[in-house]
Amino acid sequence: MRRWLKEEQRWKEWQNLEVQWVQGHNPDIIIFDDNGKEKERFDLTEFTYTSLPDMLRQKGFRMKGEY
């Protein structure tokens, strides 16, 4: 996960995906509804470098330039 998030910063390739760094915490993804209320939360340590993009697509995220 470190490679995807910090080294290569692959998260920047996705629409509507922001990263906030919280020192000392495991990486989580938090999905908010249209009103800014937390909808879902996942521990990213459960995903691999290759499985994370699949999960993002399943949750409705798209890469920049995709419609």
Q: In this predicted model, what pLDDT tens digit does every residue of 23-43 receive, in sequence order? A: 888 889 999 999 999 999 999
Q: How far is CA 9 from the centre of its chain?
A: 11
With 90 as the cut, is the pLDDT of residue 66 above it? Answer: yes
Q: Is 15 a residue whose pLDDT tops 90?
A: yes
Residue 34 lies in a domain: yes
- The span from the first CA to the last CA of the chain, in angstroms, equals 26
CA-nearest of 39, 38, 42 to 54 is 42
The backbone region for 59, taken as left when phi is positive above 0, alpha when psi lies in -120 to 50, beta otherwise, is alpha
Q: Domain limits at 52?
A: 2-58
- Examine residue 64 and state whether it is found in any structural domain, yes or no: no
Number of domains the chain contains: 1
- Specify the pTM: 0.82
Residue 66 lies in a domain: no
Residue 67 within any structural domain of the chain: no
